[in-house]
Structure 1
């Protein structure tokens, strides 16, 4: 998915392109959940919208049950759309504020001319509201009358109203409180078991992805750099970027948290309009080897069963044959001493940060 940009006053010409998604190749098994993680701006949401054809991809193919969605014309694509739906990040922005719940959930049924008539549609709506944990009495209420978690439940209900096979969830809980996040994630898992759904979950919260995903793909600057089962990836990350992400995840064990090493990356994320040559991560990689990393782009190769990594030296790094550069990796285990009692006037979260000597991590 490339977004061209132009220059010129009278006669504009294309001078380049933002390579938001560039060379992504992944499989999502039926009935399973594929989690896609990465920092903001890496192209996760753009990939989800390209799969849905909400934005037309520059090239490639998206195959669902043997059919290439990108090759379909408007009418056959419209009839197939009920088999793949999307849950958006911001439920308030994705729900029409001028439509009540009944209208929001009935509109897809009418648009796709689903059988049952008015009575059948009303029954279907009541069933779905019960499934997502909302009472049937809310059918006359409008989106602004609900809390954030309730609005996301409505978004999930609207995605399921047509009985899809594939659901793409783009940051489904990032705008919600932590307690509500757990409820929505558990709801998604229950719905998957009940309706045999296939999920592509896009998120930047590693804890959320670990809880819900069977397979996890790590994305960096428009491309997949590591892919493995959830258990394998969190136990033995092999790509340097994945290692840095995992080292930033807090561990709920004080003794482990104090002693473990952290990998801090220096430098900013490169521009997708002008990505680095060779490995796209080499400008920030602690294990960079100029002989290959600067010039040769690594392919996503399988190092173990189901574990694919796009790194020239993943095995050498894992075996310790290549050591990180000390000018890039900052190893700062917290001092093993009893933290001073924080002032009672401090906020609880801020007090915890002061006690551990750490700042809240964005990823």
Structure 2
């Protein structure tokens, strides 16, 4: 449950905000030459994203493949160094940390990866994998040693103690993801970034893993950033949802508002693709089909990044001026010049 507060710190951020991302960009150089020594451009995977995540809440980040959401998640944890911007974690800008300071900060921020098979060392037993982060960060195992700590972790994620002596290939996908989750919470972090935590799992197992994440959040007081493309999963777990497109955040609102009253044309298209379990409503519902391909982040369109595919694109401003993410209602932000007009039906769709 999100805790609210009206007080702010010296930087003007609400004190209950655990993570504050401010104008973060991650650009990868494009090089040429025999020894790749000439930089001829940049892939703008993330280009100016700002968002706040309140302590104890879940922030859902959605968007199609290639929009930059996973890159942003890695930049938050400093697995990638931002090209610009600030990442404030509990009052400290982790984008500037180095050495021992960064190592200590990382014990408070962990990640759950999409593919548990590739993120677990096939040569390590489960006990070795779960004990490794505790040893690396100098955790005191207590009288029972690391073996007892590992069994406690396994119990927390619904795995038997006998799993400690086995290896990743001996488990199903859902079981491996539970082990990955156990490893992520081994250091009792405050923030967990979950990158597509259930997309590699069978549908029958997804709900179990989602429920486990919620149980751990309640029992350990975790704050989540959940990166996903499954809109149903994001709505179920998230307090606030941000929609990314081509490296930027185009809409942000609380979960119910975003799903019930989306305003950005891209979000409208995403929501229209969600099937409704009512044949009468489904038969009469309008679908918004996007034309064209996702532009290259190495050469994004001028003006609004969505202008090349937007059904409501207007000549002039849409193609020359990039819209800022602005608040159109309390807690509801949209990066669109004509969001209110589109919602009110005052802007016609392009032929």
Asked if TM exceeds 0.5, the reply is yes
CA contact (8 A) 2:58 2:225 kept: yes
Provide the residue aligned with 1:53 in structure 2.
Answer: 78
1:260-282 Cα deviation digits (max 9, x unpaired): 00000000000000000000000
Provide the residue aligned with 1:5 in structure 2.
Answer: 30
Instruction: Tell whether 2:154 aligns with 1:129.
Output: yes
Instruction: Tell whether 2:114 aligns with 1:89.
Output: yes
Alignment counterpart, residue 193 of structure 2, candidates 168, 175, 178:
168
Instruction: Tell whether 2:308 aligns with 1:268.
Output: no
Alignment counterpart, residue 218 of structure 2, candidates 168, 187, 193:
193
- Check 1:121–1:221 CA distance in 2 against 1; reply closer, same or farther (3 A cut): same
Alignment counterpart, residue 296 of structure 1, candidates 282, 304, 321:
321
Structure with more of its chain in strand, by fraction: 2
Provide the residue aligned with 2:13 in structure 1.
Answer: none
Alignment counterpart, residue 98 of structure 2, candidates 73, 77, 84:
73
Query: Displacement of 1:117 after TM fit?
Result: 4.9
CA distance in 1 between partners of 2:273 and 2:35 (Å): 49
CA contact (8 A) 2:27 2:43 kept: yes
Query: Displacement of 1:9 after TM fit?
Result: 2.8
Query: Displacement of 1:11 after TM fit?
Result: 7.5
1:47-89 Cα deviation digits (max 9, x unpaired): 1111111122111111111011111111111112110000000
Residue pairs, 1:303-318, within 5 angstroms:
303-318=328-343
CA RMSD of aligned residues (A): 1.0
Residue pairs, 1:131-150, within 5 angstroms:
131-150=156-175
Q: Report the secondary structure of 2:86's partner residue.
A: coil
CA distance in 2 between partners of 1:155 and 1:10 (Å): 38
Q: How many residues align?
A: 326
Alignment counterpart, residue 100 of structure 1, candidates 116, 125, 131:
125
Provide the residue aligned with 2:54 in structure 1.
Answer: 29
- Check 1:258–1:76 CA distance in 2 against 1; reply closer, same or farther (3 A cut): same
Provide the residue aligned with 2:256 in structure 1.
Answer: 231
Q: Report the secondary structure of 1:184's partner residue.
A: helix
Instruction: Tell whether 2:245 aligns with 1:220.
Output: yes
1:296-337 Cα deviation digits (max 9, x unpaired): 0000000001000000000000001001123xxxxxxxxxxx
CA distance in 2 between partners of 1:118 and 1:263 (Å): 61
Deviates more, 1:55-64 or 1:117-126: 117-126
Q: Which residues of structure 1 form unaligned runs of 5+?
A: 327-363
CA contact (8 A) 2:191 2:223 kept: yes
TM-score, normalised on structure 1?
A: 0.88
TM-score, normalised on structure 2?
A: 0.91
CA distance in 1 between partners of 2:98 and 2:230 (Å): 36
Instruction: Tell whether 2:89 aligns with 1:64.
Output: yes
CA distance in 2 between partners of 1:89 and 1:9 (Å): 35
Alignment counterpart, residue 181 of structure 2, candidates 149, 156, 169:
156
